Chains A and B, each alone.
Chain A
């Protein structure tokens, strides 16, 4: 069974940093691109970032996080990461990772909650 388990969320002060992880199982992680999507409280879905299959592969970002967030992956550990720097109140959200098959976000994790507040 394909499973994605996000972790690393929590309370962080404005201007601080946080690293989210997404542990994958049930599929050959290195064969698939991966994505991060977030959902602010009571709001809709916002795409955040994506990375192709290889560790040194192409990365993509929403303008709202470009220059502050960094996506990466460790295929030997079947894990996706999102390094969040210089966080803002508007980054408060549930962050989902999603397995991405030919640009289709086909399986989603349960999400991890990030709260940015002083």
Chain B
């Protein structure tokens, strides 16, 4: 199984400041079809997960442009350009290149 390692697991941030979360996979996420199925999801307290970013860097419908994704192969990053209060929650990376699909342990973003 592909292991997804997220860092940090806890991220205190100041409102209006940038934030960055790293996700590393134990093997390349490049699929045989040429795509890299790395997604980022946000889970606000008491809510279901919500897709933010798919295939490394594509923002899903309705996601603010302060969220961006980057990376390639085994190393990926989610960035929030200016953190807002509504961004508090847990962020997960997920790979869908190979079965079983696997998630990172999650990064808890909180306001300082």
Residue of A35, A61, A103, A108 near B37 (CB, 8 A) is A103
Flag whether B11 is at the interface (Cβ < 8 A).
no
Task: Please count how many residues in chain A sit with their CB below 8 Å of the partner chain's CB atoms.
Answer: 21
Residue-wise interface mask of A (25-56) relative to B, using a CB-CB cutoff of 8 A (1 in contact, 0 not): 00000000001010000001111001000000
Q: What band does the interface of chain B fall in when counting residues whose beta carbon is under 8 Å from A? A: 20 to 34
Which applies to chain B's interface (DSSP): helix, strand, loop or mixed? loop
A interface SS class: strand
| Interface mask (A63-106 → B, CB under 8 Å = 1, otherwise 0) | 10000000000000000000000000000000010000001111
Query: Can you pick out 9 interface pairs between chain A and chain B where the beta carbons lie within 8 Å of each other?
Result: A44-B104, A45-B94, A47-B101, A60-B100, A63-B100, A96-B48, A103-B96, A104-B37, A107-B51
